[in-house]
Amino acid sequence: MTFMLIVLGIVVVSLIYLISLYNNLVSLKNGVAQAWANIDVLLKQRHDELPKLVEVCKQYKQFEQETLQRVIAARSQVQAAREGQDVAALGKAEGALRAGLGSIFAVAEAYPELKTNEQFMQLQKRISSLESGIADRRELYNDSVNINNVGVEQFPAVLVANMFNFTVKPLLEFSTAEKADVDMKALLS
């Protein structure tokens, strides 16, 4: 009788522990999803602002059309990666978009009328603010992913993770070119 109670106690404690592991993994997975949703909101807001910026720049006939086309193409790539939740593609597309935006803002320095255009200045400020927000949320996303990945890979949680298909998530990383300083001389020549 005592043996049966000990076995039953061990089974109950083990079951409670497994349930606790499972619930922790669910919490980690949902933390990653929430962090992604937070980035997604800002990406959507920036996505909505970029056509306005392009239109303001197009008003200045001599403004570099190639730069505008690069931004438009990169915007489409970011949108596709965002909608598909393709973190790797988003990192690449973000690099191209940020480079294009940097080019627009650098080239705008050569156009005094554009630099003083109130709408352009407001859009530049708004997009720069969104870029800062995206960087902050990217950091939070990567922290959530790291916590998730450690939780999914640690023993004995890995056993529960494998049983219920909890997976390692990819970090949101930007290209090396994205991290490099902008060559202002090349942009303005």
Residue 160 domain-assigned? yes
C-alpha span between 91 and 174 (Å, rounded)? 5
CATH code: domain of residue 71? 1.20.1440.20
Q: Of 64, 58, 98, which Cα lies nearest the Cα of 78?
A: 98
Residue 103 domain-assigned? yes
Digit-coded pLDDT (tens) for 41-71: 999 999 999 888 888 887 776 677 788 888 8
Digit-coded pLDDT (tens) for 125-170: 999 999 999 999 999 999 999 999 999 999 999 999 999 999 999 9
Place of tokens 């720069």: 128
Average pLDDT of the residues of the chain: 86
Residue 105 structural domain: 24-188
Paired tokens of 168: 């390692």
Name residue 161's amino acid.
A
Range with the lowest mean pLDDT among 55-69, 87-101, 175-189? 175-189
Residue 5 domain-assigned? no
Digit-coded pLDDT (tens) for 8-28: 999 999 999 999 999 999 999
- With 0-12 / 13-18 / 19 or more C-beta atoms within 10 angstroms meaning exposed / middle / buried, residue 131 is middle
**Number of structural domains in the chain:** 1
Instruction: Confirm if 135 and 121 have CB atoms less than 8 A apart.
Output: no
Instruction: Confirm if 43 and 131 have CB atoms less than 8 A apart.
Output: no
* pLDDT at 181 exceeding the cut of 60: no
pLDDT of residue 189: 43
C-alpha span between 51 and 154 (Å, rounded)? 46
Residue 1 domain-assigned? no
What's the pTM? Answer: 0.78
Percentage, residues of the chain above pLDDT 90: 49
